[in-house]
Amino acid sequence: MAISLRQLKIFEATARLGRLTAAADEQALSQSAASQALKELESMLAYRLFNRTGRELEITDVGQEVLPRVRDILANIESLKTPYGQGVSGPFRVAASVTIASYLFPQIMSDFLTLHPDVEPDLQIANTQRVLERLEKGQAHIGLIEGPASHHQLQTVAWRKDHLQVFCSRTHPLAQEGVLTVAQMGQQRWILREQGSGTRAVFERALQEVGGQLGSVMALNRQEAIKRSVKAGLGIGCLSQLAVADELLRGELVVLQTPLALTRQMSLVVPPESHINPLVRAFIEFLAVPVMPLSEGDSSDRG
């Protein structure tokens, strides 16, 4: 008996969605048929793809290793539907961290759709860590992140620069001088992004480089909440200049000059099989990012 396309699709969907029932629904199969397809695939491969604990399925180490190859096969088959030179179309799942999703992606996608109107964009907003997880699970075609990242299965490529700014309310005691020293940093209450966000990682790395310390920290996962909290006088914030440009222009927030090196690299993240998908290739070319196809075993951190 040969391995079937249905078996590979069920395996990939189960790994991506995390549940066999969800994978069965997506593939329009009964749960029993999906379960049987997985069992037959494991029998032919002679190794387990998932460990079963009651009703829970957890992908095995070997299953995780072969998953990129299965996705490669499925992507090749899917690419037959759109021969080269005939344009791009269809669903396009993009996972982007918050700043990019809020301030850069809308115009980028609008311009991209002008060239490729049959594309159906699906934007998933998450912090850098979550973006990588979505790509690893096959829940997104491409990722756009703001923080430093490395992943053994994903390729990370430099895209564009961004700069973070430390800011306070116009009524804050430091607003008049507009300066925050390293010694003063530990005395402030900070309103920052949550752990796992690119913004937080860049800020903490810059703070460590100058030997600074943080005092009290309120962690929020929404930029608007951070800005409103700072405007209310709850503390000092740090966000991308893209996120605070309007508030600075209106005089609602004040930039504090610091010795922190807060320039960061925004990056594109793609799975190894990205070069097969015409839609993904078209978007990468649109961004003018030099992504090279990864062979098995290559390092993923090129950014």
CB contact at 8 A, 178 and 255: yes
Please tell me the least confidently modeled range out of 6-15, 40-49, 146-155, 200-209: 146-155
Q: Give the other-Cβ count within 10 Å of 268's Cβ.
A: 22
- 161's torsion region: left (phi>0), alpha (psi -120 to 50) or beta? beta
pLDDT of residue 302: 36
- Name which residue leads in pLDDT, 53 or 34: 34
Average pLDDT rounded to a whole number, residues 115-129: 92
pLDDT of residue 17: 82
The whole-angstrom separation of Cα 109 and Cα 84 is: 22
Q: Is the pLDDT of residue 55 over 90?
A: no
pLDDT of residue 82: 62
Please tell me the least confidently modeled range out of 58-67, 97-106, 161-170, 288-297: 288-297
pLDDT band at 112 (very low <50, low <70, confident <90, very high): very high
- 84-to-88, 111, 228, 278 alpha-carbon distances in Å: 9, 22, 49, 7
SS3 16: helix
Helix (H) or strand (E) holding 155: strand 155-169
CATH 3.40.190.290 domain locations along the chain: 83-303
Residue type (1 letter), 273: E
Fold entry, domain 83-303: D-Maltodextrin-Binding Protein; domain 2 (3.40.190)
Nearest Cα residue to 272 out of 93, 94, 142? 142
Predicted TM-score of the model (pTM)? 0.70
Q: Is the pLDDT of residue 303 over 50?
A: no
Average pLDDT rounded to a whole number, residues 275-294: 77
pLDDT of residue 83: 59
Close Cβ partners of 254 (under 8 Å, ≥ 6 residues apart)? 167, 168, 169, 170, 172, 175, 178, 248
**What's 5-79's CATH class?**
mainly alpha
CATH 1.10.10.10 domain locations along the chain: 5-79
What is the CA 204 to chain-centroid distance, rounded? 19
pLDDT of residue 138: 80
Q: Which residue has the tokens 């070997």?
A: 62
